[in-house]
């Protein structure tokens, strides 16, 4: 009888430990996700700042070159869009030929 009670107590302790461990792992996973999100935001912000700084420097040197960030959008006509796509395609072909 006493051994049965001891066995039941062990099972309860193990079950509670598993629940606690599961909860802890979920909390750690949530914290990792939060840190990853903050890091991505900070990286994006840093990249944007760097591009802005570079563009200001180019502007001060009267250079008409401007760089766009990952999230920048521009509006262009259909003809300009076709020309841009053609240049991108040519660049990709040149890149592939250099790699092979």
Which of 50, 56, 89 shows the shortest CA–CA distance to 69? 50
Q: Report residue 41 CA to chain centroid gap.
A: 8
Q: Is the pLDDT of residue 100 over 70?
A: no
Of residues 5 and 45, the one with the higher pLDDT is 45
pLDDT of residue 33: 93
% of the chain with per-residue pLDDT over 70 = 96
H or E element that contains 36: helix 2-60
CB atoms within 10 A of CB 54: 13
Range picked from 3-17, 27-41, 78-92 for highest mean pLDDT: 27-41
pLDDT of residue 1: 60
Residue range 51-60: mean pLDDT, rounded: 92
Q: Are 62 and 85 in contact (CB under 8 A)?
A: no
% of the chain with per-residue pLDDT over 90 = 33
pLDDT of residue 97: 81
């Amino acid at each position: 009888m006493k051994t049965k009670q001891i066995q039941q107590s062990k099972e309860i302790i193990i079950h509670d430990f598993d629940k606690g461990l599961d909860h802890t792992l979920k909390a750690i996973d949530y914290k990792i996700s939060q840190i990853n999100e903050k890091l991505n935001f900070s990286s994006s912000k840093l990249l944007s700042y760097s591009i802005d700084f570079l563009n200001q420097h180019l502007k001060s040197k009267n250079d008409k070159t401007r760089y766009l960030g990952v999230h920048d959008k521009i509006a262009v006509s259909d003809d300009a869009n076709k020309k841009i796509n053609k240049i991108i395609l040519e660049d990709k072909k040149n890149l592939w030929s250099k790699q092979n």
